[in-house]
Structure 1
Amino acid sequence: MAKTKKGLSCLVGTGHLGYSPLHPETFWRGLELFEPKAVIADSGSCDIGPEPLASGKASSSAEWQKHDIEVLLLGARQKGIPLIIASASDTGTNKGVDQYAQIVRDLVAEHRLGPLKMGLIKHDMTREYLRRQLRDGAIIRGLDGFSPLQRRDIERTTNFVPVMGVEPIMSCLSENPDVIITSRTSDCCPFAAFAMHHGYSADLAYFWGKVLECGSFVAYPKLVNQAVLGTIYEDRIAVTAIHDDQRVTPVSLRKHAAYERSSFKGEAVAGGFIHIDGMEAEEVDEKTAAAWGSRFEPSPTYTIKLEGAGYLGHKAEYLVGIRSQSFIQKLDEVLSHTRKELKNFYQDVPYELYFTRYGIDGVLGAREPRDQDQIHEVGLLIEVIAAKKELAMEIAKLTGRLLLFTPVLSERGSAGRVQLRNEEASYYGKVFEWTMNHIIEYPSAQEAAAHFPITYETVRPS
């Protein structure tokens, strides 16, 4: 499709569909004030941890998901523009695509919408497919400290998703659907695909998606789930805040471009790398900032990320309060001694023990910059993971009691040195772990896209 001088706009009503309810007021205002050509929403994240993917249960409330989809669908239908929802139901599983598709069907019936054309993009990868890849000699590289994928990693995995790029979405857009729902997608790709479908460059399209994927987080001050308008031109992108108290500035745009990144160089996505270290930004008006200078570098082979998670065990928690200064000063020694005592009790039993020291470094850990000399109170969270619930509860409880009467300290008196918040440990539930954080390579984008089949259906109100 041909580009226009006025640019191409999309309305973004939320930064994570369903995670918490969006605010419809700014979304409807955006539809009134502007002429967006699509409503686009990302609905997935790894930030929620491995549990939703491994358990097959969404992190977000079903009611919140329906609320958000209802607002976005009604707005898109009112304007006759497509609605694109990526990474359905938090993790982008095929089950999530089916769930969101059913919500759309129910809303079409409830509001007497349609008929409308809905495109569903799933994936066809299975654990057996990955086993076959390994048998055939493929090296599936690990990311962020993960070793190359092994057969044991596949067997530990309850569920996994491949992360698609722009190509399946662009293919779906060519069939002019009213609604698109996808399995797991690189967060920027639904936006980039829409822009590239309309003829805009990959250099700007991926960057456009990067700054829009979290919705109103790109604006200042940070207000959650307000609508923003994104516009792409031939030589730049722009983002406009819609809430009365928000604005997008060159600074907020630059800061968000580096959001969730370890450096300002850029970000790897399916099929390549977005370079943002050459970006420049300027104010357009009191609500809008523009940026340019990004560059997309295709990878030599087309890479797809694999995200997988599996069951780890049962977790119990125990909270201990510490105010004794000698205890706090010797806390490292006390905890080390406690670990050794536990090993004597449970020599042949596998378990994992974690101490989180709130008031010292419970949030930042070793990166905590503050001086620890003035600490007067510590909340010590004990976490134990074991194969059985009863064992995890028992070890957590014993850990607290060993701390209560630790022999490490030389204070006078025989009273316990800590406050046990409760007599019994608390059962958290089953816990899960990331088992796949890997890259699988394909000779071409077409071969990679073949793993994301598209189906279409006509949804009618009755």
Structure 2
Amino acid sequence: MADLPPFRVLSPTAILGYGFPSASFEAGLAMKPDVIAVDAGSTDPGPFYLGAGLSFTDRSAVKRDLRHILTAGRARDIPVLIGSAGGAGARPHLDWCTQIIREIAAEEKLTGALAVIGADMDKALLSQALAAGQITALPPGPEAQADLIDSSSHIVAQMGEAPLIAALDAGARVIVAGRCYDPSVFAAEPIRRGYPPGLALHMGKILECAAIAAQPGSGSDCMIGTLDAEGFTVEPTAPERACTVASVAAHTLYEKSDPFHLPGPGGALDLTATQFEQRGARKVRVTGTTFIPAQEHIVKLEGARRTGFRTVSIAGARSPDFIAGLDDILQGVRDRVADNFADMQDGAAQLLFKVYGRDAVMGALEPLRHQPAHEVGIVIEAVAPSQDQADTICGFARATLLHFGYPGRVSTAGNLAFPYSPSDFKAGAVYEFSLYHLLHGADPATLFPLEMSRLEAPA
């Protein structure tokens, strides 16, 4: 393993569609990467995009990024790997991203083997797994329920590097994969070539968000990692950014609850012996990270289901007496709305208020909640089984709050200021995560189907 040459991975952007400076990308290409890899997704935007089968990034922006990445990769004949295609990595997202890739291939006359790897889960298989006790909660979430599997519009599993390696073994030069463990697309080719999995996956953990792990951080700029048998270095390609021990170590802990053990598909990274070392002004060297294989292969499941439809109204208030009595006023509005709509009484519909400037971000956990604000923003939200019901409940609540009488009220013309006309906005379907659980005993060879084709159209 000591004879392994340096292996370079270029990460252009934190999320496909976030963009990157052309100069930074060209600087990265000048360092002769062996792979270009990009993470295209996240659960951070919430369950809507998985449930609805839509991308949270703009198509034109994604196509711009992919054009640069694909043309550079094919010109150098190096693998291009895209993980969590379309944002959430379900079949509609995968097809959406693959269509963009084929458009670019036709426009730029690109050729080569294309691999598409699905991550969608069969509901019957999951129901059997649930009955067999193979689906467990991901703390602090609740136990999985059969009806939540059945009602989900899309369910994906988070693949590790094994399906990607299978595609590379099959000769793929462009890989577009469904939902992926974020480091996998960066680690797959080096692991395939015999580099230590712990180091490759840790490097992928840093590269997944591109230059966010630099100072100043940016998700819209490039980062390159160089791996060898003993460790790896990471550095941004833009000269105005620098990796520091603090920035790289901090990103290692990003989205993790245990600073020493980072679980993923098939095992966990062990950071108990990890060392971070500054190399010059802009690079950090990382050594000591190892990979501990799990006794069984476990993957994370993500599912989303529709729970109703949403309408919102945004209003502002700055009357001191109104703000002082806001809790009682909002409760009065809730009571009046509930008295008028049966759906509110049986729990089929909800009326929610978010008070910005007081506790909209942290809710009951807000420690400064009782400090007076000179103005507040109020988001009125109605969620109901149909859009018409949500519209009606939101409109009724908005009008009630506007004219609600309270002790000492002076502004009888209305309690609220509305920045928009019309005041109410139809937000459409509402989704919730129905599954955020672990599937035990999964076989990555059969769980993630591989489809091979050509970038170019048949002659």
Residues 341 and 4 of structure 1, relative CA distance in 2, 3 Å threshold? farther
Moved more, 92-101 or 208-217: 92-101
What's the C-alpha RMSD, in Å, of the aligned pairs?
2.3
CA distance in structure 2 between the partners assigned to 1:246 and 1:268 by the alignment? 30
Residues 128 and 321 of structure 1, relative CA distance in 2, 3 Å threshold? same
Report Cα offsets for 1:198-245 as digits up to 9, x if no partner: 212222222111111011111111233211111122222211111121
| 1:280 aligns to 2:289 (yes or no) | no
1:382 offset after TM fit, Å?
Answer: 0.9
Q: Provide TM-score, normalisation by structure 2.
A: 0.92
Report Cα offsets for 1:369-399 as digits up to 9, x if no partner: 5575251100011111011222212211222
Report Cα offsets for 1:327-380 as digits up to 9, x if no partner: 222322322232222222224442112211111122333444557525110001
- For residues 141-152 of structure 1, the aligned pairs below 5 Å read 141-152=136-147
Structure 1 residue corresponding to 2:451, chosen from 448, 455, 459? 455
Equivalent AA in structure 2 for residue 316 of structure 1: T
1:178 offset after TM fit, Å?
Answer: 1.3
- Paired residues of 1:316 and 1:425 also in contact (CA < 8 A): yes
Q: Which residue of 1 aligns with 2:202?
A: 207
1:316 offset after TM fit, Å?
Answer: 0.7
Structure 2 residue corresponding to 1:322, chosen from 314, 317, 342? 317
- For residues 16-415 of structure 1, the aligned pairs below 5 Å read 16-18=15-17, 20-32=18-30, 34-114=31-111, 116-123=112-119, 125-135=121-131, 137-276=132-271, 278-349=273-344, 350-370=348-368, 372-411=370-409, 414-415=412-413
CA distance in structure 1 between the partners assigned to 2:290 and 2:364 by the alignment? 35
1:96 offset after TM fit, Å?
Answer: 2.9
| 1:14 aligns to 2:8 (yes or no) | no
Report Cα offsets for 1:292-343 as digits up to 9, x if no partner: 3334333332111111111121111112212122222232232223222222
Equivalent AA in structure 2 for residue 291 of structure 1: V
Q: Provide TM-score, normalisation by structure 1.
A: 0.91
SS of 1:154 mapped into structure 2: helix
Residues 100 and 424 of structure 1, relative CA distance in 2, 3 Å threshold? closer
Which contiguous aligned blocks of 4+ residues in structure 1 show a shift greater than 6 angstroms? Answer: none
Moved more, 20-29 or 68-77: 20-29
- Paired residues of 1:338 and 1:402 also in contact (CA < 8 A): yes
Residues 453 and 424 of structure 1, relative CA distance in 2, 3 Å threshold? closer
Residues 17 and 412 of structure 1, relative CA distance in 2, 3 Å threshold? closer
CA distance in structure 2 between the partners assigned to 1:344 and 1:16 by the alignment? 46
SS of 1:268 mapped into structure 2: strand
Q: List gaps (5 residues or longer) in structure 2.
A: none
1:123 offset after TM fit, Å?
Answer: 3.8
1:29 offset after TM fit, Å?
Answer: 1.6
- Paired residues of 2:81 and 2:175 also in contact (CA < 8 A): yes
SS of 1:89 mapped into structure 2: coil
Q: List gaps (5 residues or longer) in structure 1.
A: none
Residues 377 and 262 of structure 1, relative CA distance in 2, 3 Å threshold? farther
CA distance in structure 2 between the partners assigned to 1:72 and 1:424 by the alignment? 43
1:433 offset after TM fit, Å?
Answer: 1.3
1:273 offset after TM fit, Å?
Answer: 2.5
Identity %: 28
CA distance in structure 1 between the partners assigned to 2:413 and 2:138 by the alignment? 49
Aligned residues: 454
- Paired residues of 1:400 and 1:420 also in contact (CA < 8 A): no
Report Cα offsets for 1:87-144 as digits up to 9, x if no partner: 1111112333333333333323322232x12222224631122223345x33411224
Equivalent AA in structure 2 for residue 147 of structure 1: P
1:76 offset after TM fit, Å?
Answer: 1.1
- Paired residues of 1:54 and 1:159 also in contact (CA < 8 A): yes
Residues 295 and 342 of structure 1, relative CA distance in 2, 3 Å threshold? farther
